[in-house]
């Protein structure tokens, strides 16, 4: 079994400021050894466009920092990960690997920037694209950066026709499917979320902007204590606890109050008891304690 502890020689002063400095190349060595079990000089030379002596020096430096992590195999002319391998970098974990794999498959990360060499067969759930106009997005970013207000024409789902309003954006948010702009709305006189793809017109406004410092729902963090559904069998509850990395039967997520609706909807916890336990799988253990912060749909379930 691969040891998941960090290597005791993990340095705190590696050159990580330079994207292509030695620190970055040492990360590459650490990554390839852990997830592909082997590495040779040509891997470094091809990925970073460096010379053979430079690659040899980098491998030598890595072995100085983590002498028990790799052994040289003469038959394959490669360095093989040792059984007692301990990652040198804290973020060299399954989450990093899987996130990078997903980013590659989605086309977000170019293959030339990914440390992954061999790619396992992978399937992704197809999702329709959510379109955001570049000219709109640029103005939104500029407004957030400069604390400016915007005059916009926005198509809300609560009204049949688009309406003009002034908004003061201060942040972006993603609900797992769509991008939102968090902004103060002059029409609603409060902070709300606007879907980035529903702006029909965007222009400057002379009204003052906002840095969001008074957006209480954005700044307030609400703990969500998740536990296996109590109506599952002991074996099923154990499986769910392992799946979510629960400790003592629960795990806690820190969620912005403004993101509670989206988060609970994604976790199928807006209304509990609607779906069978095998479908819902988890429960919000502290629902009563945080009821004042929950959206109406969740607080009343």
In three state form, how does the secondary structure of 182-202 look? Answer: EEEECCCCEEEEEEHHHEEEE
Contact 59, 44 (CB under 8 A): yes
Please indicate, yes or no, whether residues 105 and 167 belong to a single structural domain of this protein.
no
Average pLDDT value for the chain:
91
Contact 88, 62 (CB under 8 A): yes
Give me the CATH number covering residue 71. 1.10.10
Please indicate, yes or no, whether residues 139 and 171 belong to a single structural domain of this protein.
yes
Of these ranges, 15-19, 126-130, 268-272, the one predicted with the greatest mean pLDDT is: 268-272
Instruction: Give me the residue label for tokens 């970098």.
Output: 89
**Among the listed residues 176, 181, 182, 171, the one whose alpha carbon sits nearest the alpha carbon of residue 132:** 181
Which of 214, 233, 258 is where one domain is finished? 214
Q: Which of 7-21, 118-132, 283-297 has the lowest mean pLDDT?
A: 7-21
- C-alpha 55/C-alpha 68 separation (Å) is 19
- Does the pLDDT of residue 188 top 60, yes or no? yes
Which of 83, 113, 143 is where one domain is finished? 113
- C-alpha 261/C-alpha 176 separation (Å) is 12
Decide if 3 is inside a domain: no
- For 130-148, how does the pLDDT look when each residue is reduced to its tens digit (9 = 90+)? 778 999 999 999 999 999 9
- For 39-51, how does the pLDDT look when each residue is reduced to its tens digit (9 = 90+)? 999 999 999 999 9
Decide if 81 is inside a domain: yes
Q: Which pLDDT does position 36 carry in this prediction?
A: 96
Q: Which pLDDT does position 79 carry in this prediction?
A: 97
Find the mean pLDDT for residues 254-274.
Answer: 93
Please indicate, yes or no, whether residues 62 and 80 belong to a single structural domain of this protein.
yes
Given pLDDT bands bounded at 50, 70 and 90, which one contains residue 2? very low
Please indicate, yes or no, whether residues 40 and 88 belong to a single structural domain of this protein.
yes
Given pLDDT bands bounded at 50, 70 and 90, which one contains residue 83? very high
Decide if 128 is inside a domain: no
- Does the pLDDT of residue 119 top 70, yes or no? yes
- C-alpha 229/C-alpha 284 separation (Å) is 9
Decide if 78 is inside a domain: yes
The structure tokens listed for 131 are 């379109």
The structure tokens listed for 116 are 């992954």
Find the mean pLDDT for residues 90-102.
Answer: 94
Q: Which pLDDT does position 126 carry in this prediction?
A: 83
Please indicate, yes or no, whether residues 195 and 226 belong to a single structural domain of this protein.
no
Q: Which of 176-180, 189-193, 223-227 has the lowest mean pLDDT?
A: 176-180
Q: Which of 13-27, 131-145, 265-279 has the lowest mean pLDDT?
A: 13-27
Q: How many CB atoms lie within 10 A of CB 99?
A: 13
- C-alpha 76/C-alpha 40 separation (Å) is 9
- Does the pLDDT of residue 4 top 80, yes or no? no
Measured at the CA of 176, the angle between CA 172 and CA 182, to 5 degrees, comes to 20
- Does the pLDDT of residue 6 top 90, yes or no? no
- Does the pLDDT of residue 13 top 70, yes or no? no
- Per the document, the length of the chain is 301
Decide if 244 is inside a domain: yes
Q: Which pLDDT does position 107 carry in this prediction?
A: 84
Which of 113, 142, 163 is where one domain is finished? 113
Domain residue limits at 59: 22-113
Please indicate, yes or no, whether residues 203 and 235 belong to a single structural domain of this protein.
no
pTM beyond 0.85, yes or no: no
Number of domains comprising the chain: 3
- Does the pLDDT of residue 108 top 80, yes or no? yes
- Does the pLDDT of residue 16 top 60, yes or no? no
Decide if 209 is inside a domain: yes
Decide if 16 is inside a domain: no
Find the mean pLDDT for residues 210-225.
Answer: 97
């Amino acid at each position: 079994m691969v040891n998941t502890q960090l290597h005791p020689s993990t340095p705190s002063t590696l050159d990580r400021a330079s994207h292509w400095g030695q620190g970055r190349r040492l990360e590459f060595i650490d990554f390839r050894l852990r997830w592909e079990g082997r590495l040779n000089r040509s891997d470094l030379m091809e990925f970073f466009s460096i010379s053979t002596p430079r690659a040899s020096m980098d491998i030598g430096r890595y072995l100085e920092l983590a002498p028990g992590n790799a052994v040289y195999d003469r038959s394959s002319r490669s360095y093989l990960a040792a059984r007692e391998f301990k990652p040198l970098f804290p973020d060299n974990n399954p989450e990093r690997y899987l996130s990078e794999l997903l980013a590659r498959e989605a086309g977000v990360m170019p293959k030339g920037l990914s440390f992954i060499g061999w790619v396992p067969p992978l399937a992704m759930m197809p999702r329709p694209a959510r379109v955001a106009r570049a000219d709109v997005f640029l103005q939104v970013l500029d407004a957030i950066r400069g604390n400016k207000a915007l005059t916009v024409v926005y198509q809300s789902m609560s009204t049949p026709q688009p309406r003009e309003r002034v908004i003061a954006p201060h942040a972006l948010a993603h609900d797992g499917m769509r991008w939102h702009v968090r902004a103060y709305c002059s029409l609603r006189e409060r902070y709300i979320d606007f879907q980035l793809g529903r702006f029909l017109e965007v222009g400057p406004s002379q009204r003052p902007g906002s840095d969001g410092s008074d957006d209480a729902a954005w700044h307030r963090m609400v703990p969500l204590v998740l536990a296996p559904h109590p109506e599952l069998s002991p074996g099923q509850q154990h499986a769910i606890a392992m799946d979510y990395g629960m400790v003592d039967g629960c795990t806690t997520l820190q969620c912005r109050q403004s993101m509670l609706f989206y988060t609970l909807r994604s976790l199928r916890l807006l209304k509990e008891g609607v779906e069978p336990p095998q479908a819902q799988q988890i429960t919000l253990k502290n629902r009563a304690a945080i009821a004042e912060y929950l959206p109406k749909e969740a607080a009343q379930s």
